[in-house]
Structure 1
Amino acid sequence: MEKTKEEKKPFFTDNKNHDQLIELYNQFNSFAKDNGMTLEIPEVGHAISEMKISEKHQSAPNHCHGGVIAGLMDATLGGSALSYAFAQGKLCATVEFKINYFLPVKLHDELIAEANLEHTGNRLVHTVCDIKNKKTGKIVAKGIGTFNLYPMNKQTFE
């Protein structure tokens, strides 16, 4: 008898942890809110962020500042790492990340960033991310990040 593959369920299905994580992220991450970034975590280790480039993101006429793209990269890499950390009852912080820019991003472009967990250790996790122009599907930047895991009780939410 042939075994059928079990459908892969997102970790957070039927689990209030997903709602708690998104609520905490949205409550405390004013950088993402102020820049119009959204975060979705379909499963542990996988994060998707989106944003639309506006006038406040320009560094030159009709061109997005590289720091804005780096911010989206860090937020998405961090979402991937945070989903894993949170599932372990921990939090995380960026230790380092590297970004490569491939194409210019222009005013009113819509970006979608997708990050995946690549390696987990006792204290560090490693994630990778692509940022694409939503309309063209072309990769505008790639990045990698390392995040430190730490106990949730070391963070105060006041």
Structure 2
Amino acid sequence: MKDLKHHPIIQQYIIWNRFGDLLGMDFEVKEKGHVMYRMPVKDIHLATPFAAHGGSVAALIDAALGVACLTEVCEDLKVVSTVNLTISYLNPAHKGDLLTADARVTKSGKRILFVEGKVINQKGELIATASATMNAYPVSKISEKVF
């Protein structure tokens, strides 16, 4: 398998994704359509003195779902955007946790992709599950400077 993380479109995503940098997120491409995203829970993620804000967990899983889809379409010179995101929060994420989002594409069409994922902490506790619908479109709609 090619290392899709080094594809020019994914490399450009890394440069553009300032929000991911702010939250301390990083990812690895396991294979086409499968991504693992990680985020340590720090003070900037907290909604209470000890628990992460749900928006932080949502940002992590949305990023994982999106990049999983991006690995499906980048070789066709496309990018993706979230059309619908559904999250179920099952347990709190606590300060000091290392969260891992595991996302896999379940169906990939020419324009619409379906993807599912989960977030666990370092103890293997299930924090959240999610599913999303993504729209794929030509990268030229957002930039001509990718290549």
Question: CA-to-partner distance for each residue in 1:84-142, whole Å, 9 max, x for gaps?
Answer: 110222111111110000011111111011100001122100100010012x1111100
Matches of 1:157 and 1:96, distance apart in 2: 27
Match of 1:50 in 2: 38
Shift of residue 22 of structure 1? 4.0
Matches of 2:11 and 2:143, distance apart in 1: 15
Matches of 2:17 and 2:36, distance apart in 1: 16
After superposition, residues 144-155 of structure 1 pair within 5 angstroms as 144-155=131-142
Q: Indicate which of 56, 59, 65 corresponds to 1:68.
A: 56
After superposition, residues 1-158 of structure 1 pair within 5 angstroms as 10=1, 12-13=2-3, 17-19=4-6, 20-134=8-122, 136-156=123-143
Matches of 1:103 and 1:45, distance apart in 2: 26
TM-score of the two chains, using structure 1 as the length reference: 0.86
Shift of residue 61 of structure 1? 1.0
Identity score, percent: 30
Greater RCO between the two (CA within 8 Å, min separation 6)? Answer: 2
Shift of residue 42 of structure 1? 2.1
Where does the alignment leave 5 or more consecutive residues of structure 2 unmatched? none
Matches of 1:74 and 1:101, distance apart in 2: 13
SS state at 2:21 partner = helix
| Cα pair 1:125 1:149 within 8 Å, conserved | yes
| Cα pair 2:64 2:101 within 8 Å, conserved | yes
**CA 1:127–1:28: 2 relative to 1, 3 Å:** same
What is the aligned length?
Answer: 144
SS state at 1:64 partner = coil
Matches of 1:18 and 1:140, distance apart in 2: 26
